[in-house]
Amino acid sequence: MADKSDVTLPLSISAGIHIGVIIILALGIDFSHKPEPMQQVSAPAVKAVMVDQQKVANQVEKLKQEKRDAERREQERQAELERKAQEAKQAREREQAQIKKLEQERKQQEIETQKANEAAKLAQVKQQQEKEKAVKAEADRKLKEQERKVAEDAAQKAAEKRKVEEAAAAKAETDRKQKEAEAKAKADKAKADAEAKAKAEAKAKAEAKAKAEAKAKADAKAKADAEAKARAQQEQEMADALAAEQAALSQTMNKQMQSEVNKYKSMIMSTIQRNLIVDESMRGKTCQVSVRLANDGFVISSQTQGGDPNVCRAAKAAILKAGKLPVSPDPAVYKELKDINLTVSPTFN
């Protein structure tokens, strides 16, 4: 019994110590110094207690080391998380800066593109205007060349006619002189032959000569009248031909001007259609609009003359938005377009 008590007591003490150590570890108390050996304990019990205390100390040290390792790992994990968070923040800031830079570049590109488009449109309009001026100048040159040719042809015909008339007059004069010479020769011969004849024959010959001269004068007058009539007829024919040429040229010019008027009228309608804001309620409806333009195309006034109210409002807004409408530099074409009546009909794609 005594031996059993000697063994039970140390075991109880060891169990109590283990329980105490566990409680201390649970409470987080640093208990690194060795407990003082209990007094009045038998040698076997003291030995058992010291062995257990060493184990407990080792266990405590092991637990402390594990705790320090866990704390170190937690600190490293927190430091890694902070590092990653800082890197993510810096990456976001760089990304935001890059996005802002790209947005600024995009806006600048849009501005440059818009400027380039506007410059291209102005160049295209200027090129079209130069082309139209060149076409008009060429048409004017051809027209003047045609007029010059017609005038030259008429002058050549008149000159040829004068030459024919002068040749005919010269021939008539020669014939007349020859007849006069022949008549004079005959008269002289007759006179020489009639010296021996009676005065009656001389008188008769004189009367015959007078009649011949009168007839010659009458024939000459009739011929001059016929030539004058023929000349007047030729001049009238030339005047009629020239008038016909002028009428043809005038008709050609009127067609060209009407073509220009139709072209600019189509351009005006296209400009209004581009600025016209439409909706489904306007489909199939129209509005009559009268527009007055300055010589540079500026819209002086615009009035609706009847039609669908929505279409009329949209048409006036489109004209106001355009501000200027296409007009021809030709004063005659502008005169036809400065007060223009239009029928605006919305189109749908």
**pLDDT tens per residue, range 86-120:** 999 998 999 899 888 888 988 898 898 888 888 88
Helix, strand, or coil (residue 105) = helix
Scanning the structure block, which residue is given the tokens 């060891």? 14
Per-residue confidence (pLDDT) for residue 31, from 0 to 100:
42
Per-residue confidence (pLDDT) for residue 39, from 0 to 100:
46
Give yes or no for a contact between 325 and 293, defined as CB atoms under 8 angstroms apart.
yes
Give yes or no for a contact between 286 and 345, defined as CB atoms under 8 angstroms apart.
yes
**Measured between alpha carbons, how far is 214 from 335 in angstroms, rounded to an integer?**
67
**Measured between alpha carbons, how far is 31 from 28 in angstroms, rounded to an integer?**
9
Q: What is the mean pLDDT of residues 192-202?
A: 73
pLDDT exceeds 90 at position 30: no
- 278-326 per-position pLDDT tens digit: 888 899 999 999 999 999 999 999 999 999 999 999 999 999 999 899 9
Residues 6+ apart with CB under 8 A from 325: 267, 268, 271, 272, 291, 293, 297, 299, 319
Count CA atoms within 13 Å of residue 79 on its CB side. Answer: 6
**Measured between alpha carbons, how far is 264 from 250 in angstroms, rounded to an integer?**
21
Within 10 angstroms of residue 268's Cβ, the number of other Cβ atoms is 21
Scanning the structure block, which residue is given the tokens 């501005």? 111
- 116-138 per-position pLDDT tens digit: 888 888 888 888 888 888 888 88
Which of 206-220, 279-293, 329-343 is least confident?
206-220
Per-residue confidence (pLDDT) for residue 249, from 0 to 100:
65
Within 10 angstroms of residue 122's Cβ, the number of other Cβ atoms is 10
Q: What is the mean pLDDT of residues 259-286?
A: 91
* Top-confidence range, 21-35, 240-254, 331-345: 331-345
Of the two residues 154 and 16, the one the predictor is more confident about is: 154
> pLDDT grade, residue 256 (50/70/90)?
confident
Within 10 angstroms of residue 345's Cβ, the number of other Cβ atoms is 18
Q: Which whole-number Å values give the CA distances from 255 to 78, 114, 143, 258, 333, in the listed order?
A: 91, 40, 13, 5, 11
Per-residue confidence (pLDDT) for residue 73, from 0 to 100:
92
Percent of the chain surpassing pLDDT 90: 25
pLDDT exceeds 70 at position 227: yes
Of the two residues 144 and 294, the one the predictor is more confident about is: 294
Scanning the structure block, which residue is given the tokens 């008269």? 187
pLDDT exceeds 90 at position 10: no
**Measured between alpha carbons, how far is 248 from 147 in angstroms, rounded to an integer?**
11
Within 10 angstroms of residue 337's Cβ, the number of other Cβ atoms is 20
Q: What is the model's pTM?
A: 0.33
Per-residue confidence (pLDDT) for residue 7, from 0 to 100:
42
- Mean pLDDT, the chain, rounded, equals 81
> pLDDT grade, residue 34 (50/70/90)?
very low
Nearest Cα to Cα of residue 201 among 212, 210, 211, 190: 190
Which of 79-83, 125-129, 238-242 is least confident?
238-242
Per-residue confidence (pLDDT) for residue 50, from 0 to 100:
63
Helix, strand, or coil (residue 45) = helix
**Measured between alpha carbons, how far is 211 from 181 in angstroms, rounded to an integer?**
17
Residues 6+ apart with CB under 8 A from 154: 238, 241, 242
Residues 6+ apart with CB under 8 A from 242: 150, 154
Q: What is the mean pLDDT of residues 233-237?
A: 78
Of the two residues 188 and 302, the one the predictor is more confident about is: 302
Q: Is the Cα dihedral 203, 204, 208, 209 positive or negative?
A: negative
- How would you list the strands of the sheet with 299-307, edge to edge? 299-307, 287-293, 339-344
Per-residue confidence (pLDDT) for residue 17, from 0 to 100:
59
Per-residue confidence (pLDDT) for residue 67, from 0 to 100:
92
Residues in a beta bridge with 342: 289
Residue 61 token pair: 């040290």
Q: What is the mean pLDDT of residues 326-330?
A: 90
Helix, strand, or coil (residue 325) = coil
pLDDT exceeds 50 at position 2: no
Residue 341 token pair: 């009546």
Give yes or no for a contact between 49 and 37, defined as CB atoms under 8 angstroms apart.
yes
Per-residue confidence (pLDDT) for residue 38, from 0 to 100:
43
Q: What is the mean pLDDT of residues 140-157?
A: 84
Of the two residues 146 and 196, the one the predictor is more confident about is: 146
Per-residue confidence (pLDDT) for residue 263, from 0 to 100:
92
